[in-house]
Structure 1
């Protein structure tokens, strides 16, 4: 699988919605497709998702991929979500409700789904000069719980510190898209939603998670999460020759120029700290390039964006 980078504005990460696994996967593929255009998208852009692409990225049969794309024409078109934003003239918080897509079509003979994001969604996957969260698609590709995918996104937004603040149980349920009547008893919520999601994240992603619960009287009213990055198998780390001469010749101006270019590469997703902007990421990359080992590690990507020794 490619190291495809999913990037979302944190407003979208913290939105409240209920999408099935196949629908979440199609949204993620559409976001990646939007990034791959390299030219940005508008509320008129038509993004193509191929059944073969869906099948390969999520390791499902072609038949399952065909069904996912066909069903999305009706199901995904009806899906809505809500998010909090700031009203431009007053700086007051408002709640916005929107559809995910304004147009969707399935080309049966070609097994292609054509998606056009709703106007309110477009800036949340394109205005990335502000705070955003990014992660590699492969981290959620094996998750089969819709709650696991949502929880992983909510957690990874706090990647830099490895823990979340306390969140009220009511707000957490809303972010997962649960109706008030669903899994009302805590024992059912834990056994059907929370603990299976954490188990899948621990089994199939790059982090290990645990949670803590908070009570008001006898009732659980809040949760917080802490997580750690899993250790990388050193045998999988590619060894590169030390590039002492090239490292000694790069100037400060070049370092900042190419750091800006590197910050926009999907391959740099593993170095992202999640909530930083592209400009903040570029500054940190420039600092990384002052280190010989990091310079060597990033040298193939430096060449990709035009660096010549």
Structure 2
């Protein structure tokens, strides 16, 4: 349930077994350091904001504050008080940084300055800082659409990070990315320097889980420059028949159809 602290009455988003969430591309980029449980909580926030998100930035309503309430069972199996306490402490410390649409103003703020865990009820309360709210509601820079239940089912940190990118490029059926950029996305700049180790520990396990647990079938091949691996190309097949909203097509989306990293 989402509480909208404003002049209007509280609103809720109905949930179904096929709930789709829309993740703004800007958030996809700046939340890549979230842990598995943090990302699950973040995805639930996106679910609650679905009816408030707008493709036209001018249509976004100003909110003074947003408060969210979730039950721990949506995030973690079993009732582990220590894990939930650690989660609410960790997400309260998370800040995000971005450059405004004018490309002149750089901002860095905490997303949820107030968090609360009610042990007797098993509920987590989050209060979102008002300056962050437009980032969650603004779809004008593009967004990735994916199925909530499938995203929450993933248990691999790497699968959680990669899945929205696969969903983003489902229409072009290909996701091309430089190896350096891929390492940055999965937070492996300083790990698995040998590509064989990167593939064994990051790429293959993540794709195996995505292929087994979601509505995507993904294969990957490498792009070479001489003998050096400089990029990856993910071939994407999408099997869902769910009705999805029209998405904003970015220049990068179009470029994915070209053989360019």
Q: 1:26 matched to which residue of 2?
A: 41
Q: Secondary structure at the match of 1:272?
A: coil
Q: 1:53 to 1:226 in 2, by over 3 A?
A: same
| 1:110 aligned residue (121, 131, 150) | 121
For 1:3, which of 7, 12, 18 is the aligned residue? 18
- 1:183 equivalenced with 2:192 (yes/no): yes
8 Å CA contact 2:32–2:186 kept in 1: the answer is: yes
Match of 1:148 in 2: 159
Q: Distance in 2 between matches of 1:28 and 1:19?
A: 11
* Structure 1 residue ranges, 4+ long, deviating more than 6 angstroms after superposition: 36-41
Report whether the alignment pairs 1:215 with 2:236.
no
Counterparts of 1:183-202 in structure 2, within 5 Å, are 183-202=192-211
Aligned runs of 1:110-149 on 2, under 5 Å? 110-119=121-130, 121-128=132-139, 131-149=142-160
| 1: CA distance, partners of 2:201 / 2:17 | 32
> Is 2:132 aligned against 1:160?
no
Aligned length: 228
Shift of 1:210: 0.8
Take 1:68 and 1:274, find their aligned partners in 2: how far apart are those partners? 38
1:69-107 Cα distance to aligned partner (Å, 9 max, x none): 322122222334455x4541xx57x87655442222212
Q: Which stretches in structure 1 are left out of the alignment for 5+ residues?
A: 233-269, 278-309
TM-score when normalising by structure 1 = 0.64
Q: RMSD value over aligned CA atoms?
A: 3.0
2:215 equivalent in structure 1: 206
Q: Which runs of 5+ in 2 are unaligned?
A: 1-15, 54-59, 250-261
Using the alignment, how far apart are the partners of 2:240 and 2:101 within structure 1?
43
Structure showing greater Rg: 1
Q: Is 1:163–1:226's contact at 8 Å kept on the other side of the alignment? A: yes
User: What is the TM-score of this pair, normalised by structure 2?
Assistant: 0.74
The structure in which a higher percent of residues are strand is 2
Query: Hey, which of these two has a bigger chunk of helix by percent?
Result: 1
- Where 1:8 maps in the other structure, the secondary structure is strand
